[in-house]
Amino acid sequence: MSARDEILARVAEAIDGAAAVAEVDRSYRRTGSLTDAERVARFCERVGEYQADVRRVEGPIAEAVEAVCAERGVESLVVPPALPAAWRPRNVEVVEDDGLEPRTLDELGGALTGCTAAIAETGTIVLTAAPHEGRRAITLVPDLHICVVDETQIYELLPEALAALHRAGLERRPITFISGPSATSDIELSRVEGVHGPRQLTVLITKEQL
């Protein structure tokens, strides 16, 4: 008997005769109750708690991106090829991703993308590698990720966001959930940022229809 067969046999023996698994309790909230303004405010509050930089954008998105780059000393941004022209800054070098190597991505100042959805209750951004989001690699390697979120993309609860992904036929896409900049803690709970992704996350909230 192989080690695998032995393990499976032990599992089967352990669960033999066990009581049937109880039905999963699905009495959790599936529909939010906040107004549109409250939902956006909740998202801004929650994503800010993750030490992300959150900005409400009233004017052109490109100008907001330029301001972020100027403040952080960023001179170059990688973008997905399908990123809208109106989002692209004019005084920052814009490099379209055509399968750039990790070393090249690491040399760029940041990444600029859109998103598929956002969740107010948890301050989470949802990426599905859509054309205006690009490969996951471009939001993992550079030190800064600037993400544009339209107010209409913000859902109050996770079940609502998942239902929207299902309606759009995206449930089988590679889905990534981002809650703030990349961070981890050691056994003494010392927070270290930028270990598994960008050390800085700036979220631009707009009213532009994407």
- Does 187 reside within a domain? yes
Which amino acid does the sequence have at 167?
A: R
Residue 91: inside a domain: yes
Does 21 map to a domain? no
> What's the whole-number average pLDDT of the chain?
91
Total tally of structural domains belonging to the chain: 1
The winner for highest mean pLDDT among 6-20, 93-107, 192-206 is 93-107
* 47 C-beta neighbours (distance < 10 Å), count: 27
Could you tell me if residue 2 is inside a domain?
no
CATH of residue 151:
3.40.50.10420
Give 79's pLDDT tier (boundaries 50, 70, 90). Answer: very high
Is residue 12 situated within a structural domain? no
Check residue 170 and report its DSSP letter. Answer: -
What's the distance, CA 39 to chain centroid? 18
Report which of residues 1 and 151 the model is more confident about: 151
Q: Considering the domain boundaries, does residue 10 fall inside one? A: no
Which one-letter amino acid corresponds to residue 114? G
Instruction: Name residues whose C-beta falls within 8 Å of residue 36's C-beta, 6 or more positions apart in sequence.
Output: 151
Q: What is the DSSP letter of 169?
A: T
Q: Residue 16 domain-assigned?
A: no
Q: Is 107 helix (H, G, I), strand (E, B) or coil?
A: helix
Q: Which domain holds residue 54?
A: 27-206
Q: How far apart are CA 77 and CA 146, in angstroms?
A: 9
Model confidence pLDDT, tens digit, residues 51-65 = 899 999 999 999 999
- pTM, full prediction: 0.84
pLDDT for 192 beyond 70 = no
